[in-house]
Chains A and B, each alone.
Chain A
Amino acid sequence: MTIDTSDILAALVLTLELAGVTTLVLLVIGTPLAWWLARSRSLGADVVGTLVALPLVLPPTVLGFYLLIALGPDGLGGLAGVRSLAFSFSGLVAGSVVYSLPFVVQPIRNAFEAMGERPMEVAATLRASPLDRFFTVAIPLARSGFLTGAVLGFAHTVGEFGVVLMIGGNIPGETRVLSIAIFDYVEQLRYREAHLVAGGMLVFSFLVILAMARIGRNIGTVRP
């Protein structure tokens, strides 16, 4: 039995694309969200914070099922007039964004919280406008949080299975990512391919967690 690497390669490229796009989207929407959650004491912030954290505890199939409904004719798909946003790359990005949200928002939020009010006050007394100090003080000081969030968000999206399974439709080059490929190989009893991809995932996950530890060691501490 020979291994068909073109299948795996296509799944790998798609997975990296999905994780990359998802991470970018998450950084863009996660940063202001994390800032608000770190600074606001309102009930609304607590409620939103809880919603953001939900994917941590919900089984991905639950999330996937709700996403399926949300993307379908009675939800976003209907609004967009295309019946359903499921079974498409953008649908997967939407699902992955929801699914990986806490993994990006939480570290950034923690970094913003650890920073305290003081650096922003100092910047204000040094003539920096709110937006100016957000970009020149808050973001650089929270860089370990951003790095952690980006790495975790990327890795978590790469490792995502349940949600993609629920809303993907296994379309090669569009929604057939690595974790789905592994599942397929196991189902088809093609264990050699399964081993190859699963082993790669294992090494990747190991490297990610190792990288996290190094990030924590090198730039985790922010002195006042």
Chain B
Amino acid sequence: MTDARQDEETGSALAVALSGKRGDFAVDAAFSAPARGVTALFGPSGSGKTSILRAIAGLTRLEGSVSVGGEIWQDGPRFVPPHRRALGYVFQEASLFAHLSVDGNLVYGARRSPGGVDGELRRQVIELLALQPFLSRSVADLSGGERQRVAVGRSILSRPRLLMMDEPLAALDIRAKDEILAFFETLSGALDLPILYVSHDISEIERLADRIVLIEAGRVRASGPLNEALTDIGLGFVRHPHAAAVLPATVVGFDGEDGLAELDLWGQPVFVDGSGPDEIGLTRRLRIEASDVSLAREPITRSTILNTLRVEILAIEPAGRANLAVLLRLVAESRLDAPPPTFMAKVTRRSAARLALAPGDTLFAQIKSVSLATAPTR
């Protein structure tokens, strides 16, 4: 895990240090986010995520400082009111203006942004969020998911330097959630700005986030790249029954007969369903659930299991009465910018004892199911 200070040194677009009392708990949070990609504020309900987000937007005031892309929004006595901050904010409920049409909503912020409505951006946003069919409709006639798409489009069109989303899917049913997550995934790849995404739902974060800021009782417990957090045994994600790691991999081939795509994971092949020949060359997120991973000393060839990866044990930690969490690192050559990625296996204490597992061992990880966590990143 890297902490906020290191992020600042590497040049971050968003730097936040806020403290103060909100309701019956104190907020004291400092973190940063890079100029691109989704930074998730994750934590249980009532941990202060929304309070922090609102304070970054200037909707409520906490002590401290906020700067975005070198522009100071708040520092000491200086406080830029929200309407003078180039921000986009998507609320839990879409909160569309009932007196305006869909198009009227979309351009509300754009009209007030420097330079007015940008026709080209408007066209792109409408295409990206598939809003064309609704443009002249009244907002009352939209479904929940459609409303949230309009809200997102409205924010982007106001040309923010920071996009904030506060549990934007929480009020939606599962189908609408799934549909809109696909839009968000496309969006996060297409937008050249930091996105702060508040959620208490780890599955949304696995699909969307590049980085995570873990909030507990108003404080930042940890922050860093997504997979580092997910596989950090100290943070406790591993104890979750569906604990998973999320690893980016590149699509390198497609077998039309079997319907399987081949992805390259640091030199090792992974075969998955759900991709197509048109995605060759693109990066996809692989989601590997700890309980789907089993370990073997020898490669097992006569098995239905498709994917076997060479791994090295980094650590073994207790995870419940009968289980252990085994932290694994892919066997591969380190690249300049990062070590090979890690993931986890959940094994019983008995199996671990039988195989005499110990840190430093190199062995085979069999993965019962690998799923794609995201839409392709173009």
Contact = CB atoms under 8 A, between A and B. Distances in A.
Direct contact of A and B (CB under 8 A): yes
Interface in B48-93: 57-59, 81-84, 86-89, 91, 93
B83 A128 contact: yes
A141 B99 contact: yes
Contact of A119 (B84, B95, B113, B140): B95
B108 A223 contact: no
B109 A141 contact: no
Interface residues of B, number: 28
A125 B59 contact: yes
Classify the secondary structure of A's interface with B. Answer: helix
A50 interface: no
Nearest to A140: B99
A123 interface: yes
B155 interface: yes
B98 A222 contact: yes
B158 A119 contact: no
Contacts of A118: 91, 93, 95
A74 B76 CA distance: 53
Interface residues of A, number: 22
A223 B140 contact: yes
A41 interface: no
B122 interface: no
A126 B81 CA distance: 12
B113 A141 contact: no
A79 B99 CA distance: 45
Contact of B113 (A127, A222, A223): A127
B149 to A, nearest CB: 15
Given A122-B89, A126-B158, A132 B112 contact: yes
B97 interface: yes
Contacts of A127: 83-84, 86, 109, 112-113, 158
Contact of A126 (B58, B94, B140, B155): B155
Contacts of B113: 127
A44 interface: no
Given A118-B91, A132-B112, A125 B99 contact: no
Contacts of B82: 121, 124-125
Contacts of A223: 98, 139-140
A122 B155 CA distance: 9
Nearest to B160: A125
A122 B88 CA distance: 9
- Residue of B59, B88, B113 with most chain A CB atoms under a 10 A cut-off: B59
Contacts of B59: 121, 124-125
Nearest to A136: B108
Given A141-B99, A222-B98, A224-B93, A125 B112 contact: no
Given A143-B99, A222-B98, A223-B98, A125 B140 contact: no
Interface in A100-150: 118-119, 121-130, 132-133, 136-137, 140-141, 143
B154 interface: yes
5 contacts: A119-B95, A121-B89, A121-B91, A124-B81, A127-B158
Shortest Cβ-Cβ A-B pairs, 10 listed: A126-B109, A125-B89, A127-B112, A140-B99, A124-B82, A122-B95, A124-B83, A118-B95, A126-B158, A129-B83
Given A125-B82, A140-B100, 19 more contacts: A118-B93, A119-B97, A121-B82, A121-B91, A122-B89, A122-B91, A123-B83, A124-B83, A125-B109, A125-B158, A126-B83, A126-B109, A126-B158, A127-B84, A128-B108, A129-B83, A137-B97, A141-B98, A223-B140
